[in-house]
Structure 1
């Protein structure tokens, strides 16, 4: 789905310009996104398998919930909206814990430059997996995986081709922040 988004400079600062997401991806313009990692009290992480119809990294496993921040939309409102849309879960704003903003530059093809600043949150998942309702156009599958297994599979990027290729630093930060909360 194409949507109007804010354009950022290479340092993540607003430029005052907006564009359609498709144009930003075609021209390699930086823009803001939200990433929400959901974890359980017993050390499991909710992963989302990206839909097979996605332009970027179809069928790879990724962050629990992610999405673009609409033009002029508050970051936390975007995070709450994306959680509701992608997995059918209503989360209050106070359940979100921001752990940082991460610059990401991926170029899956000559026509597609995905340059983003991920506003990244953690949120404890208190609902069982079978209560979640995946958005078919975005999400192929959902699963819970132990934090230990996820750590082993992402820190050394041992499973290239299974996970979206975020930086090792990004994955390490997410894992360390979740461990602090267990």
Structure 2
């Protein structure tokens, strides 16, 4: 789905201009996204299998919920919207724990230039997986994996991407520090 988004400088500062997501990806213009990682009290992580028709990373097990921040939309409202759209969960903003902002730059083989600032959150999933409903246009499946998968160094076919291993490790550690209030 093509949506209107705010364009940022390479330092993450709003430029005051907007563009369609497709334009931003074609020109490599920086923009903002949200990443929400859901964990459970029994040390599981919710991953979604990206739709097989997606233009980037199709069919890959990935972040619990992720999406672009709409033009003029606040970061937290965007996170809530994306969570509801992708997995059918209504969540309060104070249940989202922000663990950082990550600058991300990837040139995909299909010509998409992903220059993004990811606003990264963690949140505890307090309901059964069966209570969630996926957005079939975006997500093929959701599944709970052992939290240790975020630190796994094996080449797991179709589960996460080795080149982002440091990012996954940081999410793992933040879940332990801020989610469980334990040391990693």
Matches within 5 A, 1:30-179: 30-109=30-109, 111-152=111-152, 156=153, 158-159=155-156, 161-164=158-161, 167-179=164-176
Q: Measure how far apart 1:34 and its partner are.
A: 0.2
Conserved? CA contact 2:98–2:122, under 8 Å: yes
Question: For residues 115-169 of structure 1, what are the alpha-carbon distances to aligned partners after superposition, in whole Å with 9 as ceiling and x for unaligned?
Answer: 11000001100010111100001001100011123321xxx36336432456232
Conserved? CA contact 1:67–1:82, under 8 Å: yes
Deviates more, 1:101-110 or 1:61-70: 101-110
Unaligned runs of 5+ in 1: none
- When normalised by structure 1's length, the TM-score is 0.93
CA distance in 1, matches of 2:91, 2:25: 29
CA distance in 1, matches of 2:157, 2:106: 15
Q: Measure how far apart 1:85 and its partner are.
A: 0.3
Q: Secondary structure at the match of 2:108?
A: strand
Matched, 1:20 2:17: no
Question: For residues 5-51 of structure 1, what are the alpha-carbon distances to aligned partners after superposition, in whole Å with 9 as ceiling and x for unaligned?
Answer: 00111111111111000000001111000000000011000000100
Deviates more, 1:90-99 or 1:156-165: 156-165
CA distance in 1, matches of 2:173, 2:145: 16
Query: What is the aligned residue count?
Result: 179
Conserved? CA contact 2:150–2:169, under 8 Å: no
Unaligned runs of 5+ in 2: none
Runs of 4+ in 1 over 6 A off after TM superposition: none
- When normalised by structure 2's length, the TM-score is 0.92
CA distance in 2, matches of 1:61, 1:73: 27
Q: Measure how far apart 1:107 and its partner are.
A: 1.3
